[in-house]
Amino acid sequence: MQKRNLGNLEVSALGLGCMGMSGVYGQPGDTAGMIALIRAAVDRGVTLFDTAEAYGPFVNEQLVGEALAPVRDRVVIATKFGFDIDMETGARRGGTNSRPEHIRAVAEASLKRLRTDRIDLFYQHRVDPNVPIEDVAGAVKDLIAEGKVGHFGLSEAAATTIRRAHAVQKVTAVQSEYSLWWRGPEADIVPTLEELGIGFVPFSPLGAGFLTGKIDQNTKFDSSDFRNNVPRFTPDALKANMALVDLVRQVAARKAATPAQVALAWLLAQKPWIVPIPGTRKLDRLEENLGAASVELTAGDLAKIDAAASQITLQGARLPENVLKMTGL
């Protein structure tokens, strides 16, 4: 597996997003099977594994911790703080909570669940409008000084917020949605990260599955699947947006690749400090995704993709309105 740098943190060119193993995209996966999948990713050279206290809550961190304990020194574990979750019961109280004392409490609890003595990359999951970002960065800076955290990250933060945080504690990576289906970060986020030397970790790099070509307007999701509530996954939006999938399929046919591989290769080709974290519960999909690192898109390929994509009008918001309000973008 090729390597890339998020700031000064070296990781595999593709990471593994573990959220979906504990739900969100339907029912949770079998624990033993998910542990085996995570370890299979390690065997194939993946070193960056992404989780969060909010996934479950708590159970995804426990899963990742158990899976990676035998190979802890070979991997980079990224987790997150920032939602208002009862530390004892896991009950979601709604909204955000990045008060410094809460950040510390989350870090201590995450360390135990992850079976480790340090969190390699600690993201603020969502910007807290009630806590100055300087106070958040300062709290993480203290944890870094104590050796409990290695690197500081932000998720779904605006460029101005990134700059303010970076002035207090160096930001190693920013995580936000980014793909051929959602290119919003190109306006302000990507240029800011390039200027400051911060790495970018796109989540939903396959458009929550849409860019794989396996979803259309007739697809039925499990009743617990969050995509049932996402505007861009309504039948009408899916039908309208299939033009983008058709474009990816055409490129895939020329490259003897799959649509998923082309979508990931496109991200990898944007900047050398971009590290996508596609998620999956299946070994064959894991291997398919990792194969994207071997798909070469030339400057000509990228120009043709951009030209064709610019002629497609995409429909539907990327998240429900109430969730979009919680981002800092």
Residue 56 near residue 65, CB atoms below 8 Å: no
Beta pairing class for 199-203 and 171-177: parallel
Residue 237 lies in a domain: yes
Which amino acids are annotated catalytic?
55
Residue 131 lies in a domain: yes
Helix (H, G, I), strand (E, B) or coil at 242: helix
Using a 10 angstrom Cβ sphere, with 0-12 exposed, 13-18 middle and 19 or more buried, the burial of residue 24 is middle
Residue 198 lies in a domain: yes
Return the bridge partners of 108, or none: none
Helix (H, G, I), strand (E, B) or coil at 236: helix
What's the mean pLDDT in 301-329?
91
Separation CA 175–CA 177 (nearest Å):
7
Q: What is the pLDDT of residues 140-167, one digit of tens each?
A: 999 999 999 999 999 999 999 999 999 9
Separation CA 287–CA 237 (nearest Å):
30
* Unique residue bearing structure tokens 């050398």: 272
Write out 97-118 in H/E/C secondary structure: CCCHHHHHHHHHHHHHHCCCCC
Which tokens belong to 295? Answer: 């798909």
Domain count, the chain: 1
Which residues lie below 8 Å from residue 64, measured CB to CB, with a gap of 6+?
18, 38, 49, 51, 77, 79, 114
Poorest-confidence range of 4-8, 259-263, 317-321?
317-321
Q: What is the pLDDT of residues 31-53, one digit of tens each?
A: 999 999 999 999 999 999 999 99
Q: How many CB atoms lie within 10 A of CB 273?
A: 18
Residue 19 lies in a domain: yes
Q: What is the pLDDT of residues 205-229, one digit of tens each?
A: 999 999 999 999 999 999 999 999 9
Under the banding of pLDDT at 50, 70 and 90, the label for residue 328 is confident
Q: Cα 13–301–291 angle (5° rounding)?
A: 35
pTM for this entry:
0.97
Q: What is the pLDDT of residues 57-112, one digit of tens each?
A: 999 999 999 999 999 999 999 999 999 999 999 999 989 999 999 999 999 999 99
Separation CA 318–CA 315 (nearest Å):
9
Residue 35 lies in a domain: yes
Output 213-222 pairs: Cβ under 8 A, ≥24 positions apart: 213/245, 213/248, 213/249, 213/258, 213/259, 213/260, 216/242, 217/242, 221/26, 222/25, 222/26, 222/27
Helix (H, G, I), strand (E, B) or coil at 202: strand
Helix (H, G, I), strand (E, B) or coil at 260: helix
Beta pairing class for 149-155 and 171-177: parallel
The H or E element containing residue 195 is helix 189-196
Q: Using alpha carbons only, how large is the chain's radius of gyration in Å?
A: 19
On the question of pLDDT at 329 being above 80, the answer is no
42: CATH: 3.20.20.100
Return the bridge partners of 174, or none: 154, 200
Residue 329 lies in a domain: no
Q: What is the DSSP letter of 159?
A: H
Separation CA 264–CA 15 (nearest Å):
11
Q: What is the pLDDT of residues 258-303, one digit of tens each?
A: 999 999 999 999 999 999 999 999 999 999 999 999 999 999 999 9
Residue 171 lies in a domain: yes
Residue 156 lies in a domain: yes
Separation CA 228–CA 180 (nearest Å):
21
Structural domain that includes position 287? 3-324
Which tokens belong to 33? Answer: 């099977």
